[in-house]
Chain A
């Protein structure tokens, strides 16, 4: 018998953090406004009163310092979980993440491990001002030494945050902020799968649609619409962006022969670019059509009044589905 509870993604992350903090007293949570306030998205709400200042504390507003001290704490044997308030504010820490966090295990030839988790709310659709709606995951996926994951639903959120904290490698944990309050069932007894496996969320036969994070809900919606029009879409939730579970992606493409990859990030040099290249290399003879990418345009994230036309919606996904089906 499994113990299922309904909760939104944000609460599932809170619950996952609570479990990790209970299990291991070396787990520390810090970042801007995470303590009494519970973070600007309230993801750490309640943890301060439960665990106190020694386990969860506010950091000065200095992202390089937050990640840099997280690295030092990891060297001291702690398992830091650092929150970057919005993805647009991560760049002051980019140096620490890419030149230090990602490389210290390698630099030390394995003497050091880096069990650091960087939590990053990301993605658009919340009507925010500049720097609050972006999708910078490809920068980090391009950096050897990091692991990059993103849940799309509460069950994954609950388990993936715990798996990320247990990892001795550094994990960039991207949280789909516009889906924070999307509810779902969480199985409190056992994880659905390991941290880096992709999952087929909706089976289909004609076109594979790969997505991750906030775009998964959009693609599931597209699959419903397509089904009503007699088109069978298989939706694969990537879950992990680095490494990517290509076996699951390829096996779906082998079945359907057609692939569309969707995300919010600008399309050039993106996760979809990598998937298109790899699928072409590994499943060329199974493809009935070119791999199509549906993403943000290659422009700075637009002002809120334009974001609905920047972000791919179900119709934009279906437009690409229609195109791959014309081959």
Chain B
């Protein structure tokens, strides 16, 4: 397992993984601080969204607490031409690519089913049906290769794709088919599996008999396991394999071993299926605490951490206000984009329902 930052916050790379350590050279102190800020932002966002759900402002929340290092590290390793195919828990990856967090809350409030522009953001829509996004990512990567956007001399002419999914999704056939198609086509893609060890109430041991990073080998997709609570391992390993993908070296699978500290969603009750001691074990390996220890060793002082906390409170207040301000979607939204070309049946039904609803206008 690749670990660069120990749980005590000490930097050290075993020589076997020196190929990854060179990616540390790309990082400055400003990057470390950015990683911390965004991990803290992701966590504060999560707490606020959970609170909003508890207050009835969101229909559901999908917590990602514990997965900050896996998401922020890998997210920042994805370049500004690359495309990201998330599952539905990648709020941190969204932060690293400038997605307006309100678009995620809008969806979980029930205003829409996504609705951000995947072409412009390069961060594709959340996929609720497990594993469905994986062949989409592979198809996209096939297209990138057909376009000649891999292996060019100039780095900016190349791009790659990263596909996120969880340990539970690896059981889905579409993940296996995605691995196979990527290997056959030698597509420029990195599969990033966050093994948070729980698929709702199913332990990872009920999803696989082999370590998940080995899952791709039989398809021809090599893999590696990283400490998913180590933001530097997450960054360096993802950066290296995204580089390789862009250079035409084909697909790669990263398993980030992490832990879902929270519930599967706000509808879930993890006390029914796992022991508090297990959660405590992982709380003690908190990715944010680990990075904080490292930063303090680097001489970063209280004022930075206070500033981050203050920024979190400001953000929380902003999204709270913005959530309260989200209006009702107009009924046209239900009909407008079912098809991209005119459709008489849909047009007729919209006209009918508008007339029907207007028949109530003026009623006391």
* Given known A-B contacts A108-B337, A145-B339, A96 and B135 have beta carbons under 8 A apart: yes
Flag whether B351 is at the interface (Cβ < 8 A): no
User: Across the interface, do B181 and A62 meet the contact criterion of CB distance under 8 Å?
Assistant: yes
Give the Cβ gap from A207 to chain B, nearest Cβ, in Å.
26
Flag whether A228 is at the interface (Cβ < 8 A): no
Give the Cβ gap from B115 to chain A, nearest Cβ, in Å.
4
User: Across the interface, do B143 and A72 meet the contact criterion of CB distance under 8 Å?
Assistant: yes
Question: Chain B residue with minimal CB distance to A71?
Answer: B136
* Given known A-B contacts A69-B138, A107-B113, A109-B112, A100 and B129 have beta carbons under 8 A apart: yes
Chain A interface, number of residues (Cβ within 8 angstroms): 44
Flag whether A144 is at the interface (Cβ < 8 A): yes
Flag whether A243 is at the interface (Cβ < 8 A): yes
User: Across the interface, do A110 and B337 meet the contact criterion of CB distance under 8 Å?
Assistant: yes
Most buried by A among B144, B174, B346: B174
Which residues of chain A are within 8 angstroms of B56 by Cβ–Cβ distance?
Answer: none
Question: Chain B residue with minimal CB distance to A62?
Answer: B177
Most buried by A among B115, B134, B142: B142
**A69 vs B178: C-alpha distance when bound (angstroms):** 8
Most buried by B among A64, A76, A105: A76
- Convert A71-94 into 0s and 1s, putting 1 for each residue whose CB lies closer than 8 angstroms to a CB of B: 111111110100000000000100
User: Across the interface, do A95 and B142 meet the contact criterion of CB distance under 8 Å?
Assistant: no
User: Across the interface, do B174 and A72 meet the contact criterion of CB distance under 8 Å?
Assistant: no
Question: Chain B residue with minimal CB distance to A30?
Answer: B142
User: Across the interface, do A72 and B177 meet the contact criterion of CB distance under 8 Å?
Assistant: no
The one of B174, B184, B338 in contact with A64, judged by C-beta atoms closer than 8 angstroms, is B174
Question: Chain A residue with minimal CB distance to B163?
Answer: A72
- Convert B143-171 into 0s and 1s, putting 1 for each residue whose CB lies closer than 8 angstroms to a CB of A: 11011000000000000000000000000
Question: Chain B residue with minimal CB distance to A111?
Answer: B117
- Convert B256-282 into 0s and 1s, putting 1 for each residue whose CB lies closer than 8 angstroms to a CB of A: 000000000000000000000000000
Flag whether A167 is at the interface (Cβ < 8 A): yes
Flag whether B119 is at the interface (Cβ < 8 A): yes
Which residues of chain B are within 8 angstroms of A80 by Cβ–Cβ distance?
Answer: 139
Flag whether A2 is at the interface (Cβ < 8 A): no
Give the Cβ gap from A170 to chain B, nearest Cβ, in Å.
9
Question: Chain A residue with minimal CB distance to B113?
Answer: A107
**A75 vs B124: C-alpha distance when bound (angstroms):** 10
Give the Cβ gap from A274 to chain B, nearest Cβ, in Å.
11
Kindly identify, within residues 55 to 78 of chain A, every residue whose CB is under 8 Å from any CB belonging to chain B. 59-60, 62, 64-65, 67-78
Which residues of chain A are within 8 angstroms of B6 by Cβ–Cβ distance?
Answer: none
Flag whether B201 is at the interface (Cβ < 8 A): no
Kindly identify, within residues 87 to 121 of chain B, every residue whose CB is under 8 Å from any CB belonging to chain A. 112-120
**Chain B residues touching A, range:** 35 or more
Which residues of chain B are within 8 angstroms of A74 by Cβ–Cβ distance?
Answer: 139
Question: Chain B residue with minimal CB distance to A195?
Answer: B341
Which residues of chain B are within 8 angstroms of A162 by Cβ–Cβ distance?
Answer: none
Question: Chain B residue with minimal CB distance to A65?
Answer: B177
User: Across the interface, do A145 and B118 meet the contact criterion of CB distance under 8 Å?
Assistant: no
User: Across the interface, do B340 and A113 meet the contact criterion of CB distance under 8 Å?
Assistant: yes
Give the Cβ gap from B179 to chain A, nearest Cβ, in Å.
10
Flag whether A104 is at the interface (Cβ < 8 A): yes
**A28 vs B143: C-alpha distance when bound (angstroms):** 10
Which residues of chain B are within 8 angstroms of A111 by Cβ–Cβ distance?
Answer: 115-120
**A107 vs B112: C-alpha distance when bound (angstroms):** 8
Question: Chain B residue with minimal CB distance to A113?
Answer: B340
**A108 vs B114: C-alpha distance when bound (angstroms):** 6
The one of A62, A114, A169 in contact with B180, judged by C-beta atoms closer than 8 angstroms, is A62
User: Across the interface, do A145 and B184 meet the contact criterion of CB distance under 8 Å?
Assistant: no
Which residues of chain A are within 8 angstroms of B125 by Cβ–Cβ distance?
Answer: 104, 107-108
Flag whether A99 is at the interface (Cβ < 8 A): yes
**A54 vs B147: C-alpha distance when bound (angstroms):** 10
Most buried by B among A75, A77, A103: A75
The one of A68, A75, A144, A147 in contact with B178, judged by C-beta atoms closer than 8 angstroms, is A68
- Convert A105-124 into 0s and 1s, putting 1 for each residue whose CB lies closer than 8 angstroms to a CB of B: 11111111110000000000
Question: Chain B residue with minimal CB distance to A72?
Answer: B139
Flag whether A168 is at the interface (Cβ < 8 A): yes
Give the Cβ gap from A217 to chain B, nearest Cβ, in Å.
28
Question: Chain B residue with minimal CB distance to A145?
Answer: B338
User: Across the interface, do A72 and B132 meet the contact criterion of CB distance under 8 Å?
Assistant: no
Known: A60-B180, A65-B174, A80-B139. 18 other contacts (CB 8 A): A54-B146, A62-B180, A65-B177, A68-B136, A69-B136, A72-B135, A72-B136, A72-B139, A74-B139, A75-B119, A95-B129, A95-B174, A105-B340, A108-B117, A108-B337, A109-B112, A113-B340, A169-B340
- Interface residue ranges, A against B (CB under 8 Å): 28, 54, 59-60, 62, 64-65, 67-78, 80, 92, 95-96, 99-100, 103-114, 144-145, 147, 167-169, 243
Would you give 26 A-B contacts (Cβ < 8 Å), ordered by A? A68-B135, A68-B177, A68-B178, A69-B139, A69-B142, A69-B181, A72-B141, A72-B142, A73-B139, A76-B140, A76-B147, A100-B132, A105-B338, A105-B339, A106-B113, A108-B115, A108-B117, A108-B337, A109-B112, A109-B114, A109-B333, A109-B337, A111-B116, A111-B119, A114-B340, A145-B338
- Interface residue ranges, B against A (CB under 8 Å): 112-120, 124-125, 127, 129, 132, 134-144, 146-147, 173-174, 177-178, 180-181, 184, 333, 336-341, 343-346
A-B pairs, 9 with minimum CB distance: A72-B139, A68-B135, A76-B143, A69-B139, A65-B177, A72-B140, A110-B337, A72-B136, A109-B115
